[in-house]
């Protein structure tokens, strides 16, 4: 579930309310939401390329940040800018590189595994017990809350090693995920996968088929708030996972 865009209203809501509405509700609310036609990752790639080619450097910072959130890596952004330099101009590429370096300065090289020690600097709860059923790879569960009152919902801290993910499944009442560390994927059936990072919240509707798990090279930790039963389905096969 994509985050609702409010930048237009936050910055221009009083001065230009109609423009703010079009920015938040049409451009980012309707156009960017058409994920079946073009994935958020590809839209970011196109948008960043257009901004660099047009010399619109002021708008580049938020869109490079969005590209990072949508799964574009430091190496891919560097290659995009390098390629554009021969078509859009060398000075534009230099300007874009200065901004991209700041956005991606803490990124690891693609393929470099994140260690659990690196992850543990930001985690709250213990690793817990290894989960054997309905998961691919190494995943761990530490139950945090199981009382029937006052929530009547269980809360578990789930930790995925790089490459680990759960099977396709659904929840009879729904579920809420609170990401507390690392990077991972969430995908609903028929939709593009969404890259998750620390601080993201996913509200999963009842009976929606989905899966979630770590990226290939990062650990991933989330709290799962589950008020009802879970129906486990088939595995998320490598053919799908390795396309992300």
In a domain? residue 146: yes
In order of 14, 59, 82, 87, 214, the CA distances from 217 in angstroms are 44, 30, 25, 33, 8
CB 227 within 8 A of CB 151: yes
Contact 200, 162 (CB under 8 A): no
Is 141 contained in some domain? yes
Buried b (16+ CB within 10 A) or exposed e, 107-126: eeeeeeebeeeebeeebebe
Q: Are residues 123 and 226 in the same domain?
A: yes
For the cut 50, the answer to whether the pLDDT of residue 184 exceeds it is yes
Q: Are residues 76 and 187 in the same domain?
A: no
Enter the tokens of residue 243: 């396309």
Co-location of 61 and 122 in the same domain? no
Structural domain tally of the chain? Answer: 2
Supply the range of the domain harboring residue 237: 116-241
Domain contains 111? no
pLDDT tens-place string over residues 71-104? 888 899 999 999 999 999 999 999 999 999 999 8
Q: Is 110 domain-assigned? A: no
Q: What is the CATH number of the domain that holds 46?
A: 1.20.1290.10
Residues 89 and 195 in one domain: no
Whole-number average pLDDT of the chain: 90
Domain CATH for 234 = 2.60.120.10
159 and 184 part of one domain: yes
Please say if the pLDDT value at position 219 is more than 70: yes
Calculate the alpha carbon distances from 14 to 9, 11, 18, 25, 65 in Å. Answer: 8, 8, 9, 16, 26
Of the listed ranges 11-25, 81-95, 99-113, the one predicted with least confidence:
99-113
Whether 126 and 84 share a structural domain: no
Are 146 and 208 in a shared domain?
Answer: yes
Instruction: Tell whether 134 and 218 lie within a shared domain.
Output: yes
Question: What pLDDT does residue 1 have?
Answer: 46
Last residue of a domain, one of 103, 131, 162: 103
Helix (H, G, I), strand (E, B) or coil at 195: strand
């Amino acid at each position: 579930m994509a985050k609702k865009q409010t930048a237009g209203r936050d910055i221009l809501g009083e001065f230009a309310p109609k423009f703010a509405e079009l920015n938040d509700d049409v451009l980012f609310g309707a156009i960017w939401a058409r994920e079946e036609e073009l994935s958020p990752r590809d839209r970011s790639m196109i948008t960043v390329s257009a901004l660099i080619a047009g010399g619109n450097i002021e708008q580049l910072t938020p869109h490079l940040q969005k590209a990072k959130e949508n799964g574009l890596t430091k190496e891919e952004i560097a290659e995009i800018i390098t390629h554009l330099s021969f078509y859009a101009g060398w000075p534009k590429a230099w300007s874009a590189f200065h901004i991209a370096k700041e956005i991606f300065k803490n990124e690891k090289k693609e393929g470099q595994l994140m260690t659990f020690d690196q992850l543990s600097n930001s985690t709250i709860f213990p690793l817990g017990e290894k989960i054997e059923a309905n998961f691919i790879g190494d995943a761990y569960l530490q139950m945090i809350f199981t009382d029937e009152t006052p929530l009547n919902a269980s809360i578990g801290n789930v930790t995925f090693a790089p490459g680990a993910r759960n099977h396709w499944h659904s929840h009879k009442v729904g579920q809420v995920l609170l990401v507390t560390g690392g990077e991972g994927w969430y995908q609903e059936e028929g939709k593009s996968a969404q890259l998750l990072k620390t601080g993201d919240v996913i509200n999963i509707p009842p009976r929606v088929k989905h899966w979630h798990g770590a990226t290939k090279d990062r650990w991933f930790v989330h709290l799962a708030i589950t008020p009802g039963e879970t129906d486990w389905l088939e595995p998320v096969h490598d053919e799908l996972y390795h396309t992300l």
